[in-house]
Every structure is written in C-alpha cells, then in structure tokens.
Copies of this chain bind each other. A is one copy, B any other.
Amino acid sequence: MSADVVKAKRKTDIGPPNYTKFLPPIIKENYGKWKYHEVPQPGVLVHTSHSGAKLYSVRAATPRLLSIETLRLFASIADEFTGGFLRFTSRNNVEFLATDEGKVAPLIARLKKEGYPVGGIGPSITNIVHTQGWVHCHSAASDASGVVKALMDELYPRFENMDLPGKTRIAFACCLNMCGAVHCSDIAVLAVHRKPPKINHATLGKTCEIPSTVAACPTGAIRPATVDGKQSVEVIEEQCMFCGNCFTVCPSMTMADPENDGISIWVGGKVSNARHEPMFSKLAIPYLPNNPPRWPEVTAAVKNIVDVYAKNARKFERIGEWIERIGWPKFFKLTGIEFTKYHLDDFTHAGESFKRSAQLRHSSEG
C-alpha cells in the first residue's frame, strides 16, 4: 500500500481488529464450552471441551522486548506447528495453540532450540512482569530488562519445573510509579531513588507549572520559592521520601543518582481471590545496590526468599499466605533478613499496620 493511498483515506477510531479474526477454528467451535484442563508436563496445557475436542497450548518464555525478527520467527513456528495461531499471555509469554497432540513434542523441541524455554505453568515461576528501565524511561532508578534477565537466569529451573508450593509471581518496576504493578506480587523488585530531587532553578520556572509541582508531593515537601530572582520551588529535604512524583510533573527536578539509586525487595502480595483475598506486597529488603550487568545482590536475595519459601511453605500456599501462617518475625528469622526502622510504615495509614493485639508468638530464646 503506497503512502499516498493511505493519506487519501485517513481512518481514525477504528479500534483494534476484532479478536474473532484471530481465533483458531477449534476455539471458535468450542468457545465457552471448555470442560476442564490438565497440565501433562511443564509448559503444556490441555483443554478438553464438552464436545470432546482437545486444545494443546504450549507456553514459551519471551524477554518481552522482542525484535521483529523474533516475531517473524514465532509466526513461522506457528505456521509450521499450529496452523498459524498463537497468542501472548498477560505475563508476556507466548503460547502456541495446537490441535494435534503429535505436534506438541516437536514444537517444544523447536522452541527450546531457538532459545525460548517452555514452562511457566502451574506452581512455578513464570515470566517477570516488568517495565522499561534504562531502555526507554526517563524515571528509571535501575534498568528493568537487565535485572529481569539476571534474575531469570538464576531462577530458570523454577520456570521449567513445577516444584513450588504455589504459583510465584515476580514483578519488577523501575520507579515508584510501578508500571509493573509490583504492589501485589509474591516477590516485587522495585527500583528506588534515595535522594531528594536536584532542582534546576534556571529552567524550572519555564518548564514547570509551579502549583501542580507543589501539589504533586504526597508529603507536602515542596514550596514555591524565588531563587536567584527566578520563580522556582524549594524542597524541605527532611520531608522528602524520594517518590519522584515531582519529577513526573516537572522535568527540572531530577531524581536519578548513580550512587544512591538501587533496588528494594517486597514480598507476599497476590492478586487472585483464591483462598486468601488479594494482598499488597510488603517490604522485605529496603535497599540493595545497583550493580549492573548482573545485580548479584538482588538475584541472591530473591533466590534466597524463593528457596526458603519452597522449603517451608505448605502445598498451595502462596508466599503471602505462608508468611501469614508463620508470622513475620519467623519470616525474617528464616530468611536472615534484618528488620529495620524502614519496615515500619510511616505514611497516612501507618497506624493501621500496627499490631493492635497481644496475640504474639513468644519464644524463650529471645
């Protein structure tokens, strides 16, 4: 299609293509008629319809950041094994949708050969939901893809096997905006700033709206101020907790700091309503350094938490459910993580997190 033709009939507001165009015939025929599913082996789902039809889904990992070369590869693999039908999951895996059981083994072999491991189903660690990091975002306190790659290289066996007590969802976000929605993950890896914004008074007055900059601060740390005769703002540093929201609305208040930026680890969140109601992630480790390209402190910390969980939790217990059963003091003891002042909430609803009961585990040891 030539550019001229396109210009002539500019279309807008057509929305996405209708999904029905992309569904394989077996899904169209059995839409809403699935009866049950099984997981015959890691990475494979078999859905059986009330009609008896069987759909074989093979799930493979992707790094989410994909070249069109890879997408074309996926397209040709789909053509070869699944009649051209595939989908992506809500956690950035790719799924090939086969009707022929015989295609499953060769499909898996091919995916592995191409370097896309098969797994992520059932009580395993599936793909890490993540964000842009240094690849694309101005706000990032760390890279996203790099940390995720380093982590998954380490956790890889947990993706390919189903040997955890329950599903274990890990998410990464590169700043407190939390585009990776780490606030409800079994393990959340969250990049943080730890210094107040550096204000460029020369440009602030021109680039930023002062009232909305002042309003952006959750703790009211920002005040209008005149600096060197220019309209600007000042930050009461003791009141700043480095959230970066001022930077979001005002480019002249930069947060990034090579020495002090780094990573925090949160645990025990979940989203599903299964058994326990959804829960937020809770702070486990306030800070680990940014140590590219492999972030060894971060990978070790996450691996330790996963291993302690794997060893101690009961069947079907997600991390948050396990900790709730054993109690937070025990979690810190088992993982060897230090409990600090930073673990105590001090924001608006802090008091709601205080232990307001005498129901405590005590032990003569301490």
Contact = CB atoms under 8 A, between A and B. Distances in A.
A358 interface: yes
A352 B352 CA distance: 8
Contact of A349 (B277, B349, B357): B349
Contact of A277 (B273, B277, B357): B357
Contact of A356 (B278, B348, B359): B278
Nearest to A351: B349
Interface residues of A, number: 10
A6 B356 CA distance: 47
Interface string A333-360: 0000000000000001100100011110
Copies of this chain? 2
Contacts of A348: 348
A218 to B, nearest CB: 15
A334 to B, nearest CB: 24
Contacts of A356: 277-278
Given A277-B356, A349-B349, 10 more contacts: A273-B357, A273-B358, A273-B359, A277-B357, A277-B359, A278-B356, A278-B357, A348-B348, A349-B352, A352-B352
A358 B352 CA distance: 22
Interface string A251-292: 000000000000000000000010001100000000000000
Contacts of A358: 273
A59 to B, nearest CB: 25
A346 B356 CA distance: 22
Contacts of A359: 273, 277
Contacts of A352: 349, 352
A179 to B, nearest CB: 21
A295 B273 CA distance: 45
Among A348, A352, A359, which residue has the most Cβ atoms of chain B within 10 A?
A359
A320 to B, nearest CB: 13
A333 B278 CA distance: 27
A105 to B, nearest CB: 38
Contacts of A273: 357-359
A357 B271 CA distance: 9
Nearest to A280: B356
Interface in A25-61: none
A357 B273 CA distance: 7
A81 to B, nearest CB: 37
A349 B354 CA distance: 14
Nearest to A357: B277
Interface in A199-226: none
A278 B358 CA distance: 9
Contacts of A277: 356-357, 359
12 contacts: A273-B357, A273-B358, A273-B359, A277-B356, A277-B357, A277-B359, A278-B356, A278-B357, A348-B348, A349-B349, A349-B352, A352-B352
